[in-house]
Structure 1
């Protein structure tokens, strides 16, 4: 008796933490009782590739580590790992045939694997001298003869550059002097504080407000910002009526939620101000006139 029987079986088996294996069996009984064919297909999940838990924020010019790893090491002879920019598909770095390769000029000599860690399943990328163009999403793809997997990492480049004017500025006693501090930041500025080399607070800006009461008594009423310039990143300090004890280094420290940077200005040559020089000259001239008049009177009395 001829019969046609088609049975479709789907079996799902959970294997530890490695994932779910799907086993499909197809039993096909031919018209001939002597011909039974059983076909099985095994669908295996991809590699479990682990990456960073969130965006990677890095300062311009610094280095950044882009994590990429698997829990179970993969034989090197069948391993291929490639890092690419997701937006442009630019190849950043490749590990193939047991060697590290990278030909793109923009990443040459800046992108590296930790070669000794690859055999342990660590394929993290180390990128140095970060530039604004490096911001974006990167994909780490891991391939073997039988399976593959990938993960992504997002680089967010932040910027905080603090610069001053001349390394040293001069002022006469009693004069006013400006100590320069310019801030270029991609993040919101949370705090700017001017301090002396003795860690004495000269003036502080915090959470959008100038805090004159934060000044040490030595500088209270003598130190001020330029309010109209703050939104431009200009945190230069005007120090009024310079005194002898003001001589030394002044530091402008800038803080965001992620970064900190500073610049230093030296206040030196606290000599006599122009006014003091003029007063001194007048005193000398008056003394000479008095001496001349006295000599004239003496000579006249003798005559």
Structure 2
């Protein structure tokens, strides 16, 4: 029995080695480089999709292909960009770094990123039979903007509005105070534009709190993207906005500093305008009388 095993063992090892060599021969120099972390870009930005061949070899004269699904993003042949084979949606927006090709750097520059550009890209060196895959995620285009929308007399607080554009899919909007506690706000308003991007806006009524600092957070969990904006509301403004609630409780109602300032400014402006008009009218009248008097003297 042992002799039988020893008899077949060399043949088995030889067969395994032959299979391995045959497999390697059939595959040639094929090598799949490990994919990198997804590349995140915003709509309208320029982005570089990395592709580095290792070990570094000169691929400037090789045939290089960048594809997304079945679309040719870029084809490099005989040392030049073969534009005729490029998909129309990518024409004028993709390029390589020619000086880096001799170092094996086949990275792709994609300009003016569009929402439709998202997906998996394949970098392929034909002669070397090497490829690499890069995932492009198109993220939000704009950070949120917070503005003072008005005052809520019933609740005695200030109304803040937050708006953010260029999202896909539809994002979530959260309001937080300085301690990170969620604030109660109504459902956000969402508008989808012709470019399929969403614009979201949300309002919240805030009152006097520690630091009077508030945060609007717009987030898209699917692509793990978050944009934030912060605002600090002065104490005087919050105290003034709660005047209606103080009046109900029998307290003295303070005058709004902003309204008072506007009234004073308006009154001063009117007085200045009237003074200017009177001055011009007086000057014209004096000149008219002088001309009449001179004319009479000459006659």
TM-score (norm: length of structure 1): 0.51
* TM alignment of 1:65-80, pairs within 5 A: 65-76=48-59, 78-80=61-63
Residue from 10, 20, 35 that aligns with 1:52: 35
| Residue pair 2:150, 2:160 contacting (<8 A) in 1 also | no
* TM alignment of 1:286-297, pairs within 5 A: none
| Residue pair 1:81, 1:96 contacting (<8 A) in 2 also | yes
User: Is 1:151 aligned with 2:138?
Assistant: no
Sort the Cα spacing of 1:193 and 1:160 in 2 relative to 1 into closer, same or farther, 3 A.
Answer: farther
Give the alignment's Cα RMSD to 1 decimal: 4.5
- The residue that corresponds to 2:181 in the other structure is 204
Residue from 229, 250, 262 that aligns with 2:187: 229
User: Is 1:136 aligned with 2:128?
Assistant: no
* TM alignment of 1:152-231, pairs within 5 A: 152-159=133-140, 162-164=143-145, 166=147, 168-169=148-149, 175-182=156-163, 186=169, 192-194=175-177, 200-201=178-179, 204-205=181-182, 224-226=183-185, 228-229=186-187
How far apart are 1:204 and its partner, in Å?
Answer: 2.7
Q: Deviations over 1:22-67 (max 9, x none)?
A: 4xxxxxxxxxxxxxxxxxxxx5613425252454444444454433
User: Is 1:113 aligned with 2:96?
Assistant: yes
- The residue that corresponds to 1:125 in the other structure is 108
| Residue pair 1:136, 1:155 contacting (<8 A) in 2 also | yes
SS at match of 2:123: strand
Question: Which protein is richer in helix relative to its size?
Answer: 2
SS at match of 1:204: coil
- The residue that corresponds to 1:252 in the other structure is 216
Sort the Cα spacing of 1:171 and 1:53 in 2 relative to 1 into closer, same or farther, 3 A.
Answer: closer
Sort the Cα spacing of 1:47 and 1:129 in 2 relative to 1 into closer, same or farther, 3 A.
Answer: same
- Structure number with greater Rg is 1
User: Is 1:85 aligned with 2:44?
Assistant: no
SS at match of 1:237: strand
Tell me, in whole angstroms, the C-alpha distance in 1 between the residues paired with 2:124 and 2:116.
22
Tell me, in whole angstroms, the C-alpha distance in 2 between the residues paired with 1:265 and 1:170.
15
* Count of matched residue positions in the alignment of Structure 1 and Structure 2: 213
SS at match of 1:106: helix
| Residue pair 1:250, 1:266 contacting (<8 A) in 2 also | yes
Q: Deviations over 1:206-235 (max 9, x none)?
A: xxxxxxxxxxxxxxxxxx422x41697665
TM-score (norm: length of structure 2): 0.52
- The residue that corresponds to 1:27 in the other structure is none
How far apart are 1:151 and its partner, in Å?
Answer: 3.4
> Structure 1 stretch 253-262 or stretch 114-123: which is displaced more?
253-262
